[in-house]
Amino acid sequence: MHRVSALLLALSLAGCSSSSSITSTTLSNSEIDAIQARVESRYPDLASSKQQQVTELVVRALDNMVFIEGGSFMMGEFKVPCEPGSDQLCMSDFDRDNDFAHKVVLDDYALARYETTMADFDLFRELQGKTPYEQDLREREDRQYLFEPDKPAWTKNWQEPKDYCLWVGELADRPVDLPTEAQWEFAARNRGQNVLYATDNGKIEQGRNYVRENKRRYTQDVGRFPPNPLGLYDLTGNTGEWVNDWYSKNYYRSSSTHNPKGPTNGTSKVIRGGDNRSTPSTNTTLNRHHDWELNDFYIMQGFRCSLSN
């Protein structure tokens, strides 16, 4: 058994509550206390109630990691019936830079069950000494629903999500990071199957497993709709998600096979999945675009963390 699966199994068997009153489904008392000690050491001047919030965030992040058994798959474009029931096959989307299907082999890893929430990202940014983004908008009574704690975090660039995941990992003493593009796609496609939409049934059914047409302007609370078969929520819709890889339109033709991490450099970072404002049919498991820094914090650009071997 690989190290990540052994770790998660051991944690699940040890799950209980800590003497600090923080409960966990995967961590033992001593592991929670160790996290709390690291928080107190890093933030000695922080009020005890705030230290508790940080510890709860880290414990929750680990509890929400979903184990993904590694394996091999053909990453990139696959063909689907041109029409329902048709024997004729067509390309599954209009992107050209994902057309080159290539073999990828991944070790075991874990991926966050949910996109990072507004509340957790706000707490992280507060500890960095940063003011809340869109402060004026937050103060408007008619816009406060945009900033509810379980809505996905807004982001402006790749670096802050990267820093958030590494920060969680440092406090947890675990290898937490943004997922690689290959990890994201493997999980969205239910361990690399030819699944076009990362919903519970591989289809988009608005109102049941995907946001209704008249609600597409905004995000919904994370986990609002059923997860995919691996137990992961919102990989299709809600927000697009930053991943670790630099972007290159030709990378699929030169990608390494084992645990690829993307090009060694670049000018923009890959974003996977599609957001609520995109045409639903385009929010496929193959959808990839890229950016580096947006003009403002954007409601439709989020992220989730991973736990690697």
Domain 64-308 matching CATH 3.90.1580.10: the answer reads yes
Question: Is a pLDDT exceeding 60 seen at residue 10?
Answer: no
| Position 89 confidence tier, pLDDT thresholds 50, 70, 90 | confident
Percent of the chain predicted with pLDDT > 70: 93
Six-digit token string for 265:
């450099």
Determine the Cα–Cα distance for residues 10 and 26; give it in Å rounded to an integer. 8
Q: What is the pLDDT of residue 13?
A: 47
User: Residue 217's Cα: distance from chain center in Å?
Assistant: 21
pLDDT at 6: 56
Domain ranges, ordered by start, for the chain: 1-51, 64-308
Q: What is the pLDDT confidence band of residue 87, given thresholds at 50, 70 and 90?
A: confident
pLDDT mean across residues, the chain: 92
Average pLDDT of span 252-276: 96
Assigned token pair, 298: 């954007």
Region 72-93: mean pLDDT is 83
- When pLDDT is cut at 50, 70 and 90, the band that residue 90 belongs to is confident
pLDDT for the residue numbered 18: 44
Separation between Cα atoms, residue 229 and residue 209, nearest integer Å:
13
DSSP state of 131: P
